[in-house]
Amino acid sequence: MTAAIVTPKATFVARRRALHAKLSGPVLIAAGEAPSRNYAANRYPFRASSHFLYLVGRPLSGAALLLANGRSVLFTHPPDPEDALWHGPRPALDAVSHELGFADEGGDVRPLDSLDAALAALGRDVGTLPTQDGASSTWLGERLGRSVVARSGARLTDARDASLADAMIALRLRHDDEAVAQLRFAASVSAEAHLAGMRATAPGGSERDVHAAMLAVLRRAGLEDAYGPIVTVHGEVLHSDDHSQPLRDGDLLLADVGGETPEGWAADITRVWPVSGRFSPTQCALYDVVLEAQLAAIDAVRPGRRYREVHDVAKRGLVEGLVRLGIFRGEVDGLLERGAASLFFPHGIGHLLGLDVHDMEDLGDRAGYAPGRTRSATFGDAFLRLDRELEPGMAVTIEPGFYQVPGILGDPARTGPLGDDLRREVLARYADVRGIRIEDDVRVTDSGHEVLTEAVPKRVDEVEAVMRNR
């Protein structure tokens, strides 16, 4: 089992210093609080705001980081004997200050109830970012004397907030060495989870068996789910959260599962394997089409390359492969213009990866789209989450797919432009493929790229070898 990676405090000091250098005024970044599940005290596992985790490294529920005049001050709950009975003793604020590097940078850690005075001293002229939970956003709004709406990241109407968002994006787009170590840790444990998933798959079992086996690997290593795990024989349902289906000989199982390290960094991996352990010839043929498109797209990842072009490489690769199989007829450029790719691959090639699995999606397309660029209006391309030039240090996913979605293939508005060049009689032979997606995490290096998730088998013979040795 991969050993846990802990980021040294000097990294957090350096990140806070880098943010100070980009700020034009004071800012307050809240950790947030765990939302309630069915009653107030029964809460979901706490997940701190990614901005807070980036700068502080520890999920301190209810805490907030104030950066003002070059000084970093963390406001958090002081130790409380009453609370210690229920949640264990908490360290003194002094100790927290040393552990998290605030003392080292001439900063400070103070009790949360002194935050209002500190904000008043700044005339409450302070930028912030909304948290996801309503309670914290209300709390932030009360502190700052203005409306801070939960989950409103995409619509930052306050200029101070927008400026803070841009500063965070400028920092977080390119990962420092310690962030890369976290991504590698997440990738490595998630890779083990996928291997465990393959080994737990057998006809007569259930999606739940596979889900449970993968989850157990993540939890044993101390990782949470970076997103709702998809483990399904209905890969054509893109965000299926049902795990109750039986596993039948002949089914392909799609698993899109990634862990999140205790510091919050994500992996995002999709693999598809046959329940029987052997791909059928038709499954194998289509799988190889997706894999070739994926390898071509990964190959296109390098500094300076516009990510939308990587998306286009995958689309072209997919359509070329489908022409080879005879599912499409005709010339590839024309087929692409007529929407051939999005008939079977109706989503984007991937997204930024970091502390969030869709990194900084809380800030809307402000993070994923370069200034001046907006979403395409075209079906399929409209779901592309990233349209920037790639830079060294960025991490992205590359995840093309092939899905037979009844709602798309039965919609004349989508299929009409292809006419008879979509050869349904050929497609019918591939009825044993409902959905395939192959997804890796890729870091842009100075000269090209590094695949963080290459430990997960993906060639047909590699996958079948793992399953033979179940």
Q: Report the C-alpha gap between 261 and 50 in whole angstroms.
A: 12
Tally of CA atoms within 13 A in the half-sphere of 115 that contains its CB: 27
CA distance 330 to 123: 67
Question: Least Å distance between CB 406 and a copy of itself?
Answer: 8
- Least separation in angstroms between CB 181 and a copy of itself: 19
SS3 405: coil
How many CA atoms are closer than 13 Å to the CA of 336, on its beta-carbon side? 15
Query: Helix, strand, coil proportions of the chain in percent (round to 5)?
Result: 40, 15, 40
Residue closer to a copy of itself, measured from CB, 45 or 371? 45
Cβ closest to a copy of itself, residue 206 vs residue 282: 206
Task: Specify the residue, 162 or 451, whose C-beta has the smaller distance to a copy of itself.
Answer: 162
Q: Would you state the structure tokens that stand for residue 170, as one six-digit string?
A: 């400028």
Residue 281 CA, chain-centre distance (Å), reads 33
Which is closer to a copy of itself, CB of 24 or CB of 157?
A: 157
DSSP structural state of residue 300: T
In angstroms, give the least distance from the CB of 264 to a copy of itself.
Answer: 8
CB of 95 to a copy of itself, least distance (A): 17
User: Which residue is listed with tokens 């996801």?
Assistant: 132
Burial class (CB in 10 A: 0-12, 13-18, 19+), 5: middle
> What count of other Cβ atoms lies within 10 Å of the Cβ of residue 426?
14
Least distance in angstroms from the C-beta of 304 to a copy of itself: 28
Residue closer to a copy of itself by CB (options 24, 36) is 36
Pick the closer one to a copy of itself by CB: 72 or 131: 131
Residues 6+ apart with CB under 8 A from 34: 43, 44, 45, 46, 47, 61, 133
Report in angstroms how near the CB of residue 259 gets to a copy of itself at its nearest: 12
Shortest reach from residue 239's CB to a copy of itself, in Å:
5
Summarize as ranges the residues that interact with a copy of itself (CB under 8 A): 35-45, 47, 49-50, 81, 84-89, 132-135, 138, 150-151, 153, 206, 208-209, 211-213, 215-217, 219-222, 227-228, 234, 237-244, 264, 346, 355-358, 360-362, 405-408, 411
Least distance from a copy of itself to the Cβ atom of residue 185, Å: 15
| Per-residue CA distances from 260 to 95, 189, 338, 458 (Å) | 26, 9, 39, 22
Least separation in angstroms between CB 242 and a copy of itself: 7
User: Which residues are CB-neighbours of 416 under 8 A, at least 6 positions away?
Assistant: none
Q: Which is nearer to a copy of itself, 107 or 368 (CB)?
A: 368
The β-bridge relationship of strands 395-398 and 108-111 is unpaired
Q: Both tokens of residue 279? A: 């791909």
- Is residue 300 within 8 A of residue 313, CB to CB? The reply is yes
Alpha carbon of 230 to those of 201, 254, 386: distances in Å?
Answer: 15, 7, 22
- The CB-of-222 to a copy of itself minimum distance in angstroms stands at 6
User: Whose Cβ is closer to a copy of itself: residue 44's or residue 416's?
Assistant: 44
Q: How far is the CB of 448 from a copy of itself (least distance, A)?
A: 29
Task: Tell me whether residue 379 or residue 450 sits nearer to a copy of itself (CB atom).
Answer: 379
Q: Are 63 and 75 in contact (CB under 8 A)?
A: yes
Q: Residue ranges of the alpha helices (H) in 153-277? A: 159-172, 177-199, 207-220
For 163, phi and psi rounded to 5 degrees? Answer: -65, -40
- Smallest Cα–Cα separation from 54: which of 401, 391, 316, 359? 359
103 versus 409: smaller Cβ distance to a copy of itself: 409
Pairing of strands 395-398, 401-403: unpaired
Choose between 11 and 206: whose C-beta lies nearer to a copy of itself. 206
Considering the complex, state which of residue 118 and residue 386 has its C-beta at the smaller distance from a copy of itself: 386
The C-alpha torsion from 404 through 407 and 408 to 410, rounded to 10°, is 100
State the Cα angle at 346 between 352 and 365, rounded to 5°.
Answer: 35
